[in-house]
Amino acid sequence: MKYLLDGDPGHDDMLAILLAVRHLEVVGVTTTHGNTSVDNATRNALQWVDFLGRPDIRVARGRAHPLLNSPVDSSVGNGSSGAAGAVLPEATTETYMSDAIAFLLGASHRYHSDLAIIATGPLTNIASALLADPSLGERIQEISLMGGSLAGGNSTAAAEFNIWADPEAAAVVFASGIPLRMFGLNVTERAGVTSSHIQRIREIGSDLAIVVADILQHVRIARRQVFAVDDAPLHDPLAVATFIDPGIFTLRDMRVDIELHGNHTRGMTVVDARSLTGSTDSPSLNRAVAPMRAANCQVAVDVDVDAFFDLLIDSIRTYDVHAIRAAAGAGEDHDS
């Protein structure tokens, strides 16, 4: 399998990219508005893949604005750069593709059903690609996405940020028929990084480990200032971990729809978790219960948090930048 990451780096997006580069065959990173501007996200992605020893990974700049919404500013916690707390060397290459949609469609033709997309930001790029070429869904294997929740939100009382930032885009993706895995706040907010995790990472001592520990320390401080809580959820890497160690998660087939019009619920993932057996022989009861619609998503309903952090920390510990950079140098040319 080949993997294309689409996100808004952003601290936790960067950890998602780290896990993916360490364990999976990554053929590209497409960037979108969200945590920060798409220009910041693109620069952060370029610097990060270079720092990870993979300057060969194609980075493609995506949409600067949601399909309909005006852009949201989520610089709280991410700073003006979108990756506050990460002190990285300048990227050795400023080469990025200027059109993420063309790059994404090109990758789908090149890799067909060997390609999976891992989405860790607003879904604007993927929705734009689907609107440009509806046959995209026939070519890619699946989409794993961090977004939504079984109940409750973080951007509003009802909506999680990635969905809330572009609800129309999310509606296009969830209606596309593409097999989906959804990692919502109900599992990602349980993956809260603690000072003990940060200490375990810092003690690894490598340049990468120190940078990651500094990033996570910044995230914890920022979150404490905004939400007055003492841990910081690492949302995005869960959407990658599912491909590395599927046993960490429990997934259930469910129907997920996106609320577009609610005064208080716009951007909410409406997840039908009911266990209906079908119609009853009571006409009045049948009228009282709307039938379930066909499932369109595998929803993560549980996560082994310790196993996730063991995977993340072991991935940092065993990450050999020099070996990865050398192997990449000998690697084949990626998408043009």
173: which 2 tokens? 């993706």
Catalytic residue among 11, 33, 218, 235: 235
Instruction: Give least dist CB 275 to ligand RIB, A.
Output: 28
Nearer to ligand RIB, 183 or 309 (CB): 183
Residue at 162: amino acid letter: N
Q: Which of residues 224-263 bind Ca ion (CB under 5 A)?
A: 236
Q: Mention every residue, 6+ apart, whose C-beta is less than 8 A from residue 182.
A: 145, 147, 148, 256, 269, 297, 298, 299, 300
Q: Which of residues 121-180 bind ligand RIB (CB under 6 A)?
A: 121, 146, 154, 160-162
Torsion, Cα of 91, 97, 99, 104 (10° steps): -100
Q: Mention every residue, 6+ apart, whose C-beta is less than 8 A from residue 167.
A: 69, 159, 258, 259, 260, 266, 267
| Cα–Cα distance measured from residue 173 to residue 193, given in angstroms and rounded to the nearest whole number | 30
- Total residues at interface with ligand RIB (CB under 6 A): 15
Q: Is 235 a catalytic residue?
A: yes
Q: Mention every residue, 6+ apart, whose C-beta is less than 8 A from residue 186.
A: 149, 150, 151, 152, 300, 301
Q: Which of 77, 121, 122, 148 binds Ca ion (CB under 5 A)?
A: 121
Q: Which of 6, 12, 50, 166 binds ligand RIB (CB under 6 A)?
A: 12
Q: Does 236 bind ligand RIB (CB under 6 A)?
A: yes
- With CB under 5 A as the contact rule, which of the stretches 59-67, 117-125, 212-220, 269-277 interacts with Ca ion? 117-125
Q: Which of 235, 243, 296, 303 binds ligand RIB (CB under 6 A)?
A: 235
| Cα–Cα distance measured from residue 99 to residue 97, given in angstroms and rounded to the nearest whole number | 6
Nearer to ligand RIB, 85 or 121 (CB): 121
Nearer to Ca ion, 123 or 213 (CB): 123
- Contact criterion met (CB below 8 Å) for 201 and 155: no
Q: Does 120 bind Ca ion (CB under 5 A)?
A: yes
Q: Which does 160 bind (CB under 5 to 8 A by kind): ligand RIB, Ca ion, none?
A: ligand RIB
269: which 2 tokens? 């993932």
Q: Which of residues 4-33 bind Ca ion (CB under 5 A)?
A: 7-8, 10, 13
DSSP code at position 97: B
Q: Which of 30, 31, 35, 176 binds ligand RIB (CB under 6 A)?
A: 35
Instruction: Give least dist CB 45 to Ca ion, A.
Output: 11
Q: Does 10 bind ligand RIB (CB under 6 A)?
A: yes
In 3D space, the residue among 246, 239, 251 whose CA is nearest the CA of residue 298 turns out to be 251
Q: Any bridge partners for residue 257, and if so which?
A: 270
Footprint on this chain of ligand RIB (rule: CB under 6 A) = 8, 10, 12-13, 34-35, 120-121, 146, 154, 160-162, 235-236
Footprint on this chain of Ca ion (rule: CB under 5 A) = 7-8, 10, 13, 120-121, 236
Active site residues: 235
